[in-house]
Amino acid sequence: MNADGEQLGVKSTGTCFGLLERVRVRGGAGISELARDTGLSKSAVHKHVQTLSTLGFLVREGDRYHLSFRFLAFARQARDRLPFARVESTVRDLAETTDHTTDFLVRENDAVVCAVQTPAGTGAGPEHGEGSVVPAHATAGGKAVLAYLDEAERDALLERRGLPRYTEKTITDRARLEEELQSVRDRRVAFGREEFTPGVHAVASPVLGTDGRPVGSVSVVGDTRQMSGKRLEEDVVGLVTSAAKTIERAVRTA
């Protein structure tokens, strides 16, 4: 059974991507393993995996299956929707000048996804990594996006995702979240204060499209010590908003 009890139009597509996802997080898996993970019968898993193999999206190696390099083509296409070279270099610069892990998140329907991540040399922060879905209510980058959605879209996203608690500082109250988002709009900056990962602070600034709707956000993350102190914080805020503006220009002209 799928984790989320949503009604899907095409059920087998759900199980198919469920399997792919399991293979991904395990970094390769066998048939029985997947059957246990998903609750499907071995024969069903076998059939799916075989299909995905002949289609060329899973690769068999011995009795383990891995994700194919063909997904690189899909990833490229996703990237091509952004002026990727500019975005990446801007993010990289920001990471270098701040010496912190830097992300560019994009909004996708009712989710926020990490599109670019440049880990800093030193900081081995908690990296979900590119392509992962980020909790909007519990991260700086997520809140930066959320704040600039119109109410209908925000409702849709939050209803879809809920307000799950990750730490004791996670905002799980909708009204409280709205307050926070108002302050984000006031300053055009969002802060993350251990709401997702203990010991991790973050600063983010939104990237808005020509229509004023949020395309995504730029965020810098670091551990609590590094990302506190008035001066430092204000410096980082300036750098982040500046980078966001740069990307905003690039996105709008593209």
Q: Can residue 254 be called a binding residue for a second copy (CB under 8 A)?
A: no
> C-beta of 179: minimal distance to a second copy in Å?
28
> C-beta of 40: minimal distance to DNA in Å?
4
Residues 6+ apart with CB under 8 A from 34: 19, 22, 23, 40, 45, 49
Q: Which does 80 bind (CB under 5 to 8 A by kind): DNA, a second copy, none?
A: a second copy
Which positions touch DNA (CB under 7 A)? 8-13, 15, 30-33, 39-44, 46-50, 63
Site for a second copy in 78-117 (CB under 8 A): 78-81, 106, 108-109, 111, 113-115
> C-beta of 238: minimal distance to a second copy in Å?
27
β-strand partners of 132: none
185, two tokens: 């709009």
Q: Can residue 8 be called a binding residue for a second copy (CB under 8 A)?
A: yes
Q: Which does 30 bind (CB under 5 to 8 A by kind): DNA, a second copy, none?
A: DNA
Q: Which does 63 bind (CB under 5 to 8 A by kind): DNA, a second copy, none?
A: DNA
164, two tokens: 């799950």
101-108 and 111-118 as β-strands: parallel, antiparallel, unpaired?
A: antiparallel
Q: What kind and span of H or E run contains 106?
A: strand 101-108
Nearer to a second copy, 23 or 236 (CB): 23
N- to C-terminal Cα separation, the chain: 42
Q: Which does 198 bind (CB under 5 to 8 A by kind): DNA, a second copy, none?
A: none
Nearer to DNA, 3 or 175 (CB): 3
β-strand partners of 117: 103
Measured CA to CA in angstroms, residue 56 lies from 27, 45, 66, 70, 167 at distances of: 17, 16, 11, 7, 40
d(CA 128, CA 4): 21
d(CA 85, CA 224): 31
Q: Which does 78 bind (CB under 5 to 8 A by kind): DNA, a second copy, none?
A: a second copy
Residues 6+ apart with CB under 8 A from 70: 56, 57
Residues at the contact surface with a second copy, assessed by CB under 8 A: 6, 8-10, 12-14, 16-17, 20, 23-24, 27-28, 46-48, 50-57, 59-60, 66-81, 106, 108-109, 111, 113-115, 129-133
